[in-house]
Homo-oligomer: A and B are copies of this chain.
Amino acid sequence: MKNEISIGLLGLGTVGSGVAKIIQQHQQDLHHKLGAQVLIGKVLVRDANKDRLSSLDPSVFTTDIEEILNDSSLDIIVEVMGGIAGAKLAIEKALRTGKQVVTANKDVMAEYGHDLLKLADAEKCDLFYEASVAGGVPIIRTLEDGLASDRISSLIGIVNGTTNFILTKMKKENMSYEDALAEATELGYAEADPSADVDGIDAARKMVILSSLAFSTEVHLDDVLVRGMKEIRDGDLELANKFGYTIKMVGSSTKDEDGIEVSVEPIFLANSHLLASVNNEFNAVYIYGDAVGETMLYGPGAGSLPTATSVVSDIIAACRNLQLGVNGKRVHSAQHERVIKPETKCFAKYCHRLLVNDEVGVLSKMTSIYSKHEASIQSVMQSPAKQVGKAELVLLTHQISRQQHLDVLSDLEGTASVISHYRIEGEETV
């Protein structure tokens, strides 16, 4: 049993300063839980002389990452510096020198998580990454421990706070996409370059991490179907609402005997689904398990203190293991071969919104294309379009395969232009 556990903190930005704050303010609680003092031994910063609000002793600051990685008095390395290449190297080196590692870095975990976890296993070190997905929501731990006994069949989550904030503002306050994005940027929910968020890349990375864990298999970023917010057209939110749905940027992941299917895209989500009530910058992950049925975890997706909470919970887990001498004992190897489901086996209902010439026989011409691909239609709604001589058709399908959906859309070309299309989740309420 150690009396002191020493942390090397790589980065003192938004999350890093939150971690430092929690550790300093919770000294007594930590001592009660661990029987040891948890100290911040060294902190990597960009400029060691910069005035800082934190009450850390200035002697702990260094601009030299090697000084931290080579310091044998440090027990745990906390990587909250961001970026990919440098962070990956730092994690590798820390593990190779027998240090426990906690990271909040979803980019690294999505791209190199499988390798890094194998390295951690080989080096008998802990590698914890709770904060990499859905900031303050303990989703990794729940999948690893809380639902350890269950077989997860599907996950559906709002795992990007920026896009959820924008969509909430668009729906509840009739804001334009541009205005909602501007407000998200002003409040610090969106980055200066918001493309990773609005294009769905950020959410896709999180779905790689969650899917790999939930299905005990190695899912890669390339396996994820990604469609961003730009697929949403004027009038789509109202259209969804008319049918009892809310448009949400949702990450989905399902597994059955045909394989795994992972996607991030704006979908029509039934208003009756609890996930449709998750608003603003909040995140939530809805889990379907064979035995447990349906569960959901909800909470802040980002922010200094919420994310730092997850990081420090990981630090506590690593400290407990240190005190017991049982670090690196988790089994991280994938239990199952990675099998990605072909699009002929991915079934869903879809909404197709089409612009057609307003002329006799157009509906019959349309529906014959659906028939040709055996894509069964649940309902068709025709309304005049803004353009003279044009009409809008909204078709809701029954369950069809993604291949059928794509074949229909492709065959419609020439006869209709596709304004937008959505997968549908949950039962409509009106």
| Chain A interface residues (CB < 8 Å from chain B) | 18, 22, 26, 29, 32-33, 35, 130, 136-138, 141-142, 145-151, 216, 274, 277-278, 282, 289-300, 303, 305-306, 308-313, 315-317, 320, 323-324, 326, 329, 331, 335
- Is B324 touching A329 in the complex (CB atoms < 8 A)? yes
- Is B151 touching A313 in the complex (CB atoms < 8 A)? no
- Is B138 touching A146 in the complex (CB atoms < 8 A)? yes
- Is A295 touching B292 in the complex (CB atoms < 8 A)? no
Q: When the two chains form the complex, which single residue of B148, B216, B309 contacts A150, counting CB atoms closer than 8 Å? A: B309
- Is A148 touching B316 in the complex (CB atoms < 8 A)? yes
Q: When the two chains form the complex, which single residue of B32, B290, B309 contacts A289, counting CB atoms closer than 8 Å? A: B309
Q: When the two chains form the complex, which single residue of B291, B306, B316 contacts A292, counting CB atoms closer than 8 Å? A: B306
- Is A147 touching B32 in the complex (CB atoms < 8 A)? no
Q: When the two chains form the complex, which single residue of B278, B293, B303 contacts A305, counting CB atoms closer than 8 Å? A: B293
* Complex Cα–Cα for A138 and B141 (A): 10
Closest to A296 in B: B298
- A277: chain B residues at CB < 8 Å are 274, 277
- A146: chain B residues at CB < 8 Å are 130, 138, 141-142, 310, 313
- Is A299 touching B291 in the complex (CB atoms < 8 A)? no
Closest to A329 in B: B324
Please tell me how many copies of the chain the complex holds: 2
Closest to A287 in B: B299
- A309: chain B residues at CB < 8 Å are 147, 149-150, 289, 291-292
CB distance from A158 to the nearest CB of B (A): 12
- A316: chain B residues at CB < 8 Å are 145, 148-149
- A320: chain B residues at CB < 8 Å are 329
Q: When the two chains form the complex, which single residue of B32, B145, B289, B323 contacts A145, counting CB atoms closer than 8 Å? A: B145
- Is A299 touching B298 in the complex (CB atoms < 8 A)? no
- A297: chain B residues at CB < 8 Å are 295-298
* Complex Cα–Cα for A324 and B292 (A): 28
Q: When the two chains form the complex, which single residue of B150, B216, B299 contacts A296, counting CB atoms closer than 8 Å? A: B299
* Complex Cα–Cα for A274 and B22 (A): 27
Q: When the two chains form the complex, which single residue of B138, B278, B303 contacts A142, counting CB atoms closer than 8 Å? A: B138
- Is B32 touching A293 in the complex (CB atoms < 8 A)? no
* Complex Cα–Cα for A216 and B292 (A): 28
Q: When the two chains form the complex, which single residue of B282, B295, B296, B313 contacts A149, counting CB atoms closer than 8 Å? A: B313
* Complex Cα–Cα for A294 and B298 (A): 8
- A298: chain B residues at CB < 8 Å are 274, 295-298
- Is A292 touching B296 in the complex (CB atoms < 8 A)? no
- A296: chain B residues at CB < 8 Å are 296-299
* Complex Cα–Cα for A305 and B326 (A): 31
CB distance from A118 to the nearest CB of B (A): 15
- Is A308 touching B324 in the complex (CB atoms < 8 A)? no
* Complex Cα–Cα for A138 and B216 (A): 20
Closest to A135 in B: B292
* Complex Cα–Cα for A278 and B296 (A): 11
Q: When the two chains form the complex, which single residue of B33, B295, B303, B335 contacts A299, counting CB atoms closer than 8 Å? A: B295
CB distance from A148 to the nearest CB of B (A): 5
* Complex Cα–Cα for A22 and B313 (A): 29
* Complex Cα–Cα for A326 and B321 (A): 10
